[in-house]
Amino acid sequence: MPKRPFPNPFRSWPRRRRTTGGLLAVALLGTGVAAGVSAHGSSQAPDRPRLLADTDRDGRPTHRDEAGKGEWHDDRGALVLPNIDDDAGRCPTLAPDGQRLTDERLAACHDGTDDVVAGVEDAADLAPLRLAGGADPGPAARATLSLDEASARHAGLFLRGTGPDGEPTHTPFPDGGELTREQLVDGADFALEVRDIVRDPERWDGFVDVTLTIDDRGETYRDRVRLRVAPLLLTHDLLPVERMLVSDNGTTPEQVEREGYDPGTPAEPRLPGEAEFRAGLAEGLAEAGVDDRLLDYPTGGDQWTRDQFITGYAMAPGPDGEPRRLSVLLRSADVMPEGSSSDFPLRDGGRTAFTVFRGADTAVLQEFTADRVGDDEHSALWGSFSSTGNFLVAPPYRTAAADFPTGRVLYGSDGGLAAPDPAFTGLLAAQGEQDPLAVDTSWLGVGHIDEFLSFVPADNERGWAALVADPDWGLRLLAEVAEAGGGDQPLVRDVDPELTPYPGLTVAAALEHPQLRAGTELASAGVDAALAVLTEELALTDEDIVRVPALFESLEIPDYPRQGVVANHLPAVANGVQPGTEVFLAPDTHAPLDASGADVFQRATEESLARVGVRVAWVEDWEYAHGVGTVGGELHCVTNAFRDLTAVEPWWRERAR
Tens of pLDDT, residue by residue over 625-634, are 999 988 999 9
Per the model's pLDDT, the better-predicted residue between 6 and 556 turns out to be: 556
Strand partners, 362: 327, 359
pLDDT of residue 234: 99
| CA separation, residue 322 to residues 60, 183, 315, 351, 510 (Å) | 11, 29, 10, 32, 59
- Residue 15: pLDDT above 60? no
Region 10-17: what's the mean pLDDT? 33
Hey, is 322 helix, strand or coil? coil
- Residue 41: pLDDT above 50? no
Q: Give the pLDDT band (50/70/90) at residue 46.
A: low
What does the alpha-carbon distance between residue 85 and residue 110 come to, in Å, rounded to a whole number? Answer: 5
- Architecture in CATH for domain 19-229: Sandwich (2.60)
Do 644 and 239 contact (CB within 8 A), yes or no? yes
Phi then psi for 652, rounded to 5 degrees? -70, -30
What does the alpha-carbon distance between residue 48 and residue 467 come to, in Å, rounded to a whole number? Answer: 60
Topology of the domain comprising 449-618: L-arginine/glycine Amidinotransferase; Chain A (3.75.10)
Region 146-163: what's the mean pLDDT? 97
Per the model's pLDDT, the better-predicted residue between 300 and 381 turns out to be: 300
- Residue 656: pLDDT above 70? no
- The 3-class secondary structure across 336-367, one letter per residue, is CCCCCCCCCCECHHHHHHHHHHCECCEEEECC
- Residue 24: pLDDT above 50? no
Per-chain mean pLDDT for the chain = 92
Single out the residue of 363, 381, 383, 362 nearest to residue 372, CA to CA: 383
pLDDT of residue 37: 40
Domain with CATH 3.75.10.10 in the chain: 449-618
pLDDT of residue 562: 83
Strand partners, 73: 19, 76
| CA separation, residue 574 to residues 440, 467, 552, 623 (Å) | 17, 6, 13, 18
Region 506-518: what's the mean pLDDT? 98
Single out the residue of 58, 56, 59 nearest to residue 76, CA to CA: 56
The sign of the torsion formed by the CA atoms of 521, 420, 315, 6 equals: negative
Give 544-597 pLDDT, tens digit per residue.
999 999 999 999 888 777 889 999 999 999 999 999 999 999 999 999 999 999
Domain with CATH 2.60.40.1700 in the chain: 19-229
The pTM is what?
Answer: 0.92
pLDDT of residue 410: 99
pLDDT of residue 8: 39
The secondary structure of 92-156 as a DSSP string is -SB-TTSPBPPHHHHHH-SGGGSS---HHHHHTTSEEEEEE--S---TT-EEEEEE-GGGTTTEE
Give 234-272 pLDDT, tens digit per residue.
999 999 999 999 999 999 999 999 999 999 999 999 999
Strand partners, 352: none
Query: What is the share, in percent, of the chain residues with pLDDT greater than 70?
Result: 93
Query: What is the share, in percent, of the chain residues with pLDDT greater than 90?
Result: 84
